[in-house]
Structure 1
Amino acid sequence: MLMEWEDQQTDIKTPEYVSLQFQIAGLGSRATAFIIDQLIVGLTITLIIISVFFAFFANPGFMLFDSGSGFIIAGVIIAVFILNYGYFMFFEFFWGGRTIGKRTLGIRVIQDNGHPITLLSSFIRNLLRLIDSLPAGYLIGILFVFLHKKHKRLGDFAAGTLVVHDNRVERKKKKSVIDKIIKSRRLSKDDLVLEKVQLNQFTQQDWRLINKYCERYNSLPLQEKRQVTYQVAEILFPKMDMEVKGQSVMDIENTLFVLYLYLKDEWEFTM
């Protein structure tokens, strides 16, 4: 029987001295998410091998052991290895700590300090899957997750990461006033292109600032609303390589609202 310990929680104090509380993901949800991811990776690898196989045998001059086919086979082996480990690293870094399996199960990977996972940490934790998978069937990884109080495998120890439940999946929230404003203005994340490097410059404090601004937006008097909008933009716009000068209040508001959507995806999972 897999012990999930669903009620187990941990408190983390971030470098910004913000106290966060997370619900740790147990062996059951992690294993199920991994199985889903492995099915996706396995299907993709199978399709690649079948495609190469048919491409080979469709060629009348095909020779299994000639130098050309040897390079292709070696390339396929390397591609399979990269896909097997690169899939997890790519999705964890660019999708807020979630692979497709993790997103389906409502869990995600974060740093031990509560921050989003870094590229280096994702690389380390996924490289050590090689050890966690020994001797077979991820036995070492399963034992560590099962026995450790924070359900960490070796990769998590080395990378300084933690797998937690994503509260946005678990809680159905009523649409806030700001969500209705964003919808009425027909805004979406597509209206502001942010590189990962730019997004990583924003901290928990930035999220709290823009979240508070959005919460108070509708209740502010018009003149104060303009003033606060400019003040918040002066703090946050430089991190996006943008200038406040020359923009209308409406344009600045819209940019802040779309930024709110970005940071909400990064930080709203905190309790």
Structure 2
Amino acid sequence: MNAEQLDIKTPEYVSLQFQSAGLGSRAAAFIIDQIILLIVNILIIIGLLFMINGTFMDFFSADMPSYLIAGAIILIFIIRWAYFFAFEYFSGGSTLGKKMVGIRVIQENGHSITLLSSLLRNLLRIIDSLPMNYLVGMLMIFFHSKHKRLGDLVAGTIVVHERRKKKMKLTPIEKEIQKRGLSRENLVLNDYDLRRFNEKDWKLMKTYSNRFLQLSVDDRILLTRQVAEIVSPKLGMPVEDKGYEELENLLLVLYLLLKDEWEFEL
């Protein structure tokens, strides 16, 4: 079933367009993830055998205690579940397999997947995998209008193809940022750090960037100091010892990072 166009209206009344990921792309990503997990499982078993016998040559003759076998099975199960949960939440909705295929998980409202949603959709993998080889999940993905499995329905998520960003004409503030030689790489924030910033923070940074070039130097210094004091706790860095130009650069780069997260293409 081919990927279909989805129109999503966010709580901020922004219209987003995505292509839902069908059974083919999701299956390809899942196979890649299973290969990665298989390699990890094999390494765990090899490591366990080395711990018991000191050599891999006793693979077939190893008299492994039942509690170690049970422990290994539990560890493998935890790793398999944590792999999907952790990658989807901390890597913007993509496991390694999804990244390679070019798909990711998002909320139905177009925002990044939440901790609870990632938890729910991956707990329900157990049901989606029934009775064998993900038959329930595959059937639901194939027949559902938005290609959802049970985990997606309960968690309120959807798997979509990554959108290619269109080249757009630079705005005045983006020209100023470019003129200063700034880029997103000047401020390293992982997905967890970015989740500290909410819609209110984005609106603050957007207002700051819109007024930045319109203010006099004195007013801009004052505004920069005020905004920096508001966002600095989430950045985890003090602002008292920084000069105004350094603060300006910091806030402008933060604006770029939050823009990627909160401003969507119409």
Same fold by TM-score, threshold 0.5 exceeded? yes
Matches for 1:230-269 after TM superposition, within 5 Å: 230-240=225-235, 244-260=239-255, 262-264=257-259, 266-267=261-262
Amino acid at match of 1:248: G
Partner of 1:4: 2
Are residue 122 (structure 1) and residue 150 (structure 2) matched? no
- Would the alpha carbon gap of residues 100 and 177 (structure 1) be closer, same or farther in structure 2, given more than 3 Å must change? farther
- Would the alpha carbon gap of residues 107 and 267 (structure 1) be closer, same or farther in structure 2, given more than 3 Å must change? farther
* Stretch of structure 1 that moved more, 75-84 or 243-252: 243-252
Are residue 28 (structure 1) and residue 27 (structure 2) matched? no
Matches for 1:1-271 after TM superposition, within 5 Å: 3-6=1-4, 8-14=5-11, 17-23=12-18, 24-58=20-54, 64-65=63-64, 69-167=65-163, 170-171=164-165, 173=167, 177=175, 180=178, 184-185=181-182, 188=185, 191-192=187-188, 196=192, 199-207=194-202, 209-210=204-205, 213=208, 219-220=213-214, 223=217, 225-240=220-235, 244-260=239-255, 262-264=257-259, 266-267=261-262, 271=266
CA distance in structure 2 between the partners assigned to 1:166 and 1:156 by the alignment: 18
Report deviation, 1:63. 6.0
Report deviation, 1:45. 1.2
Amino acid at match of 2:141: V
Amino acid at match of 2:15: L
CA distance in structure 1 between the partners assigned to 2:166 and 2:117 by the alignment: 31
Identity among equivalent pairs (%)? 45
Whether the aligned pair in 2 keeps the contact of 1:64 and 1:70 (CA below 8 Å) is no
CA distance in structure 2 between the partners assigned to 1:63 and 1:101 by the alignment: 34
Whether the aligned pair in 2 keeps the contact of 1:192 and 1:255 (CA below 8 Å) is no
* Stretch of structure 1 that moved more, 247-256 or 38-47: 247-256
Amino acid at match of 1:166: E
Secondary structure of the residue that 1:21 maps to in structure 2?
strand
Cα deviations across residues 158-184 of structure 1 (Å, max 9, x unaligned)?
A: 1121222222xx2364786466457x3
* Stretch of structure 1 that moved more, 104-113 or 203-212: 203-212
Amino acid at match of 2:165: R
Amino acid at match of 1:171: K
Whether the aligned pair in 1 keeps the contact of 2:146 and 2:158 (CA below 8 Å) is yes
**Structure 1: segments with no counterpart, 5+ residues:** none
- Would the alpha carbon gap of residues 156 and 73 (structure 1) be closer, same or farther in structure 2, given more than 3 Å must change? same
Report deviation, 1:101. 1.6
Give the TM-score normalised by the residue count of structure 2.
Answer: 0.79
- Would the alpha carbon gap of residues 119 and 146 (structure 1) be closer, same or farther in structure 2, given more than 3 Å must change? same
CA distance in structure 2 between the partners assigned to 1:222 and 1:146 by the alignment: 59
Question: RMSD of the alignment, in Å?
Answer: 3.3
Cα deviations across residues 249-270 of structure 1 (Å, max 9, x unaligned)?
A: 1221232244345435534665
Whether the aligned pair in 1 keeps the contact of 2:137 and 2:149 (CA below 8 Å) is yes
Report deviation, 1:203. 2.3
* Stretch of structure 1 that moved more, 28-37 or 48-57: 48-57
- Would the alpha carbon gap of residues 166 and 193 (structure 1) be closer, same or farther in structure 2, given more than 3 Å must change? closer
Secondary structure of the residue that 1:64 maps to in structure 2?
coil
**Structure 2: segments with no counterpart, 5+ residues:** none
- Would the alpha carbon gap of residues 126 and 225 (structure 1) be closer, same or farther in structure 2, given more than 3 Å must change? same
